[in-house]
Chains A and B, each alone.
Chain A
Amino acid sequence: MNRFDFSRAAARSVDPYGDPSALEVAAARFARARVRQQTTRVGLLVTAVVVAGIAVGWVERSSGSDAAIAPPIAVLPVGAKAPPPPRAPAPPAPSPSAWLRVGGTDVVKLDDATELEVTRSGSDSAQLQLRAGGVRIAGGSQVHLTTGRVDIRAQRAVFSAQSHDRTLEVSVEHGTIDLAWPGEHRQLAAGASMTVSTVASPSESALPPVGAPTVEEAPPAEELGAPGARDPVEELLRAADASRRNGDTTAAIAQLRRATELADPRRPTVLFTLGKLLLGAGRADEAAGVFAEAAATDPHGLLIEDSLAREIEAWAAAHQPERAQTRARAYLARYPHGLFRDAVIHWSKTSR
C-alpha cells in the first residue's frame, strides 16, 4: 500500500459521530435547530399577515372609502346624553312659488306677479299659458308657451319669457326656440333675444296706438261668462288680468270668483290664483279657504303642494296658529322633503 492508498483508507476510517456523546450533542443541536426553524416559520407567517393587513388598510385608505375616513364613534356611558350637534343658522324662508316642475320641464317664476297656467301636461310635454310676469323654462321636454297672441315652442331649450304691459321679451340661453305670432315666425338661437308685441297692431285691431292710456275697460263680471260666450272662463280670466293690471283687485277677485263657479278643468288653477289675490289683498281668512278648496278640487293636481303651502301661509297671516300648525303637520307628513318644508316650518312657528 502506497502513501496515497494509505491516506484514502485513513480518510475512510474517520467517523465523526463514532463517539456516542458526539451523536447526542448533535441530536440536541438538531432539536434546537428544529425549534428555531419552526419559530422562524411562525414569525414569517405572522409578519406576512401583518404586512398584508397593513397593505389592505393602506389600499382602502388611499381609495378614499368612507370607512377609512369616518370619524371615530363616540362611546358614551349608559344614560348619558350625547351633546347636541352644532346647529346651522336657519335658512331664510324660500318663496313658496319659487318654481314648479311640469311635464319634465322646470319652470322658474321670475317675479311674484307671475301668473302661469298649466293648460296641458304629459310625461314629456307641457303646454303653459303665461298671463303675467315672467318665467324661465328649462327642460328636455316639448314646451309650448302661450302669451297673448305669441306662441313659443321649444324642445330641450332654456329660455326666459318676461311679459310686460303689451310686450313679451324673450331671451334664449340654450338651444333653439320657435317664436310665432299672427303672420310672423322667428327662430331664436342661444344668445338671441327679442321683444314682440303681445297684442295686435293698430291695423289689426282697435287698440289705441302706442303711447295711449293702457287702461282697459273690463266688463262687469256678471256680463262675462254668459252661457252663450265662446269660452266664458277664458273671458273671465282675461278680464281679471285686465282688472288686476289696472289696480282693481276687487274687480279681479269678483271676476275670478265668477270663473270658479263654472265647471271647468281650469278651476283649481283659477282657485289658486284667486287665493293669491285674496292673500295679497289682506283677506287671509278667505284666501286660506280658497287654497284649501283648490287643493280639495284637484287632490292629485300639479298645484296641490303649492295650494297646501299657501293655505298654511294664509292661516299664519290670519293669526290662526292652530290651523296653520295642523295643516303644517299634514304638509310635512305628505311632503317630508317638500319644496316648501322650511317655509312651512317657519310659518307654523311665526303664527304663534
Chain B
Amino acid sequence: MRAATPTALRLAELARADHEVDVELTSDQLFRAHARFVASLAYRLLGRSDEVDDLVQDVFLAAQRSLASLRAKDAARAWLATITVRKARRRLRVRRLWMTIGLDRDDGSELAVTSHEAGPYTMTLIAELFARLDRIPTDQRIAWTLRYLQNEQLDVVAARCGCSLATVKRRIEAVSAQLEAEEPRR
C-alpha cells in the first residue's frame, strides 16, 4: 500500500537521481522538480524560447495522465525526456512543413533568448546555429542535438529517438558533415 504523504516529500530529495522512491508523486511536485530540466531540453530541441513554455506544459500534462504508472523517481527524468523528444519531434515536423510552403515565421524572434549571461554576440551565434539546424531533417537534428547540445551518450540518444545505435550514429554524422561544410572559412 502506498504511503499517502506526498507533502512530506521534499523537492531536493525528489530531484536526486539515485533516490529510491516508493511514495506517491503529485503532478505539481513533478513539475517543480523537473521543469527546469525539461525546459532546457525543450529549448535545445526547438531552438526557440517562445515555444518552450508550450512544450513544457504539453509534456507535463501528458506525464500527468500516466503519472500513476511511474514506479521510481529515478526514472522520472528519463521518462520526461522521452516525452519531450516525442513532442518536440512533432513540433519540428510541423515547423518544417510550414517552412516548405513558405509560411514559417522568420522574424528573428529567436534572438530573444532567455539567458541572463548571454550578450548580443552570443545570442547571435546561438540564433545562427538554430537557423542552420532548421534546415536539417527532424530526426537527424534531434539525434545531433541530444548528442552535442544535451551531451547524452549514444545509447541514450538511441533510446530517446527509438532507433538503433547505428542509425543514431549515421544521423549524427550526417548533421556534423553538413554543419562543417557550412562553417564559414576564416
Contacts and interface: CB of A to CB of B under 8 A. Distances in A.
Interface of A: 2-4, 6-8, 10-19, 22-23, 26-27, 29-31, 33-34, 37
A15 B53 contact: no
Contacts, number: 97
B118 A23 contact: no
B32 A16 contact: no
Given A3-B184, A27-B28, A16 B49 contact: yes
Nearest to A29: B57
B129 A11 contact: yes
A3 B127 CA distance: 13
Contacts of B42: 16
Nearest to B47: A11
B104 interface: no
Interface in B108-149: 113-118, 122, 125-126, 128-130, 148-149
A17 B126 contact: no
Contact of A30 (B52, B60, B114): B60
Contacts of A11: 44, 47, 126, 129-130, 149
Contacts of B167: none
B99 to A, nearest CB: 20
A29 B118 contact: no
Given A7-B125, A30-B60, A13 B39 contact: no
Contacts of B57: 26, 29-30, 33
Nearest to B27: A34
B64 A12 contact: no
Interface in B4-51: 27-28, 31-32, 35-36, 39-40, 42-44, 47, 49
Contacts of B113: 14
B179 interface: yes
Per DSSP, are chain A's interface residues mostly helix, strand or loop, or mixed?
helix
Interface in B49-94: 49, 52-53, 56-57, 60-61, 64
B185 to A, nearest CB: 11
Given A16-B114, A17-B40, A29-B53, 8 more contacts: A8-B149, A10-B122, A10-B129, A12-B149, A18-B116, A23-B32, A30-B57, A37-B64
Contacts of B150: 12
Given A11-B44, A14-B118, A15-B40, A27 B32 contact: yes
A167 B27 CA distance: 105
Contacts of B115: 13-15, 18
A14 B36 contact: no
B160 to A, nearest CB: 17
A14 B40 contact: yes
A3 B27 CA distance: 41
Contacts of A7: 125-126, 128-129
25 contacts: A3-B125, A3-B183, A4-B179, A6-B125, A8-B148, A11-B130, A14-B43, A14-B118, A14-B126, A15-B39, A16-B39, A16-B40, A16-B114, A17-B39, A18-B36, A19-B116, A23-B32, A26-B35, A26-B56, A27-B31, A29-B57, A30-B27, A30-B57, A30-B60, A37-B61
A226 to B, nearest CB: 109
A10 B129 CA distance: 10
A26 B39 contact: yes
A226 B11 CA distance: 126
Contacts of A16: 39-40, 42-43, 49, 52, 114
A-B pairs with lowest CB-CB distance, top 3: A7-B125, A7-B129, A16-B39
Contacts of A17: 35-36, 39-40
Contacts of B43: 14, 16
A6 B118 CA distance: 12
B151 interface: yes
A17 B44 CA distance: 13
Nearest to A31: B28
Contacts of B60: 30
Contacts of A10: 118, 122, 125-126, 129
Contacts of A14: 40, 43-44, 49, 113-115, 118, 126
A2 B39 CA distance: 27
A38 to B, nearest CB: 10
A11 B125 CA distance: 9
Nearest to B180: A4
Contacts of B114: 14-16, 18-19, 22
A201 to B, nearest CB: 105
